[in-house]
A and B are shown apart, each in its own frame.
Chain A
């Protein structure tokens, strides 16, 4: 007994700590590797090679980029609000990584098995908007501020349908616990009964992490990179990695909520999870390679006039069916 903890408790705490570390590091590593994957895949779909010089297949390009970005001058514009400017990129990393805590990669590999897992996820992704607004505001730059304003409107809007779309899944599983939701899909993946919810969630997720085609907050052509115009060096690096963490997170969530998470025959659960999540990560990249950015008003109209009604109808129908079955 140490500090009133039993041996079993200590082992369990130690294991949780190790799991936490592995999951956090793993997710950041995967996010970093996504940079390379994205560049290679974009190259592939644009009939060129992409980075292929550093290490085998250019795998160490990320390392080279990291070294470069670490040694760049850590510059803060003299006109910027210094404290907020520094905090902003940290927030996006923090919220993205916290969100990973509730994702069940396998029945045993999860940092914390929350019974309100989905709510926690939504909360974390809502906090992410602060990062962008802080960055845009602190930069004291018109493009940055425009980007931040777009982000605020876009993220808050799409969160609504994101949450509504998940209600169907919750109704079917009868729980907010992600592990329970995965288990509830043993018979049939949620993507089949909840197909509209899947589409809405995927699109909303895309907007939530402002990936192409919903990357209006950082539209290079119009806003010279939007909210992170003034960022460089490692602070920019954190925004950059934060964005890829977002991709990984949404991919994991889609896998968990709609594609049965670790469930699958023959292979170990984690491999199934990784394959499914990897597929969606690549799909995000394909989406960027193939689609064009909508106009800002089109984006909002699409959200409020199309996705919101569909999401509400979906909840209503699912609720009716669930009530009828019970």
Chain B
């Protein structure tokens, strides 16, 4: 702690912080450009100039850069000092010399840090009349637009892209006055986190291309607190919409999870909400097999007769739908007829993962904690592709070595350039055992490649090496592998905060058991040890907690004739089981009722009745993320179509089926879930209830300057529409309501503070300290109970496959079914190909590009092959979730 004086006010502050961060935390308006809470200080832009006085007698003082000034005890600083203020305004005038006078046609306008800073410093009149420097732009792919003229050369983009996200293809080019930030040539930005450039760039150089296609200003957006549904991490997002169209996804700060950054799948994957082919009204398949629209009341009657005639109903839930949707379906069909909608291997792996999480629930890492871990073991998971935001956190954890070395040399952690220079290539150790080369390999110590069962064996061996009482795999590892295991065990043991990451994407429960054993062995020695488990979908953990029966039980019920009606909630059956089995079940079932928001294969080919359910943008719900955190997402806009939330459909169906539920609204439903399933106790606290008010007011979805209200729909009817009332949440569908720092974080639709319009800067006013946690606590509730005592070690059972094996290859752009329907993501989808190593290709007598026809799990696909030397022998990497490959139960033995 240190006591410093700013503008005559005394503060007790953290002496490891720099003055800029402290001043911002204390609520001062101090302009800055190159500094960022996560990228720290380099002192490049000279914008945060303040006056520093040596002591109480010093009257002259000297101008220093706040971001490069430590808060040492007794420091006396003046922000309001005239000379410092003058310097700041002159610096910005100089930065603005070449700025191109195009705010009206700039997508950043209205949420632009540069605009805010020019206003804050008072530079409102351009004096320079000479010629301005200009640049040519580059095509940076489907996500990002480039307009280099607007650049003020703060270097934030490359510092994020290269120094933080370890990207390689964006760099500072040119020299002196000609500095240019771009790629060597046109082409899509390669890094999975390139979308953050939109928010990191303080001007409009990098803007959101998907937003630009149907642009509107920040102040015109109708937002809502959202949870990303494209992987299991539950990053907080702020989806923005206008006139019933989803415009963009922005980061919503969460101090424990995503803090300032999202991955590109999360940011650009929501385009599916705007697709024209979505079912937007109730549909019934006629005799010709064509889906015909029905009015709501007609559909109700139809459903009544369907349920009256049904001989047994089974329900298929979904790990991508909310708890509420799934629970409502469970109520409709009855607990015994409900399945969790996961494929058999996914359900098994998720169950195993849940067991591990429950055993170690006190030791679960958050994404933020991953950044603090100094030794990591990844078992089987290609996190960049399956839970991308983890990869970004892991890259920060690798840099803990830099901070350690810097601290040894008394360099503060915020001194970014010095920390980097001292750290060079010395990274904290990250061990990774995967089936193939991953994007993290550049920071991994000796990547280990093996088949899933061998990865599990490695995990068991590590557990055994850490604690001799832990069972090792039956078959002993070879010498190299044993040496590797010993190295891992030694490193983990020696680490201050070791971390083990595993996941369900390989569909192998033994990997999770191995991770559990390793964790069990590690935590006895080090209570700081952490575990992080990723799942395949947004609510996989929630469904694993809710129900054990997987989708196959539903098919079995149809097949053995105990049921003839299938009710599917936001799920595509073809993604969960091989086509043959799904087709057989559907043929046997009399009616297939599907509630979904997208034209999935199930909707298009199998459904007899389609009920259009709201996507995350048109519904409220609760999702359980991979660390057991219940988080609420809220409806962004009211669709101009007869659609409703999945749970409302299920509620209506239950009513016509004759067992009307006794819950009515969202709060009721959540209370019913908690009462019925005690494992979910706590989800009611994920967000304030519908009746929550501040000073009697709701919380607005739109910024206070939302415009055009009396003209938006005036072409339809000059009389204004009645404002919509939200029956499910404490939010309002307008700009009316309480706006201020006391907004509960779970109800913060967008970030705005007076003078701070840009998302990443405005959020500062809502944080307990810059880059810390939100005032009032980060939203969400962790509902996994801390297990008492230590569980026993799991048996080291693995199921080796002797012959050829097909393993899943996940892709960030494509493997997740919802984002794969978004136009921008489709452009970045990898080509359809089987991957084999050179030896395997040789034994198959194929070379790269040759087509391989492969029967996997009863289905045959023919793709060209690509040579990937990183794959183990006799292993075929199969792209999952795209190009028609879905529903395969991988890994599986094959005979090519």
A contacting B, Cβ–Cβ less than 8 Å: no
Name A's B-contacting residues (CB within 8 A): none
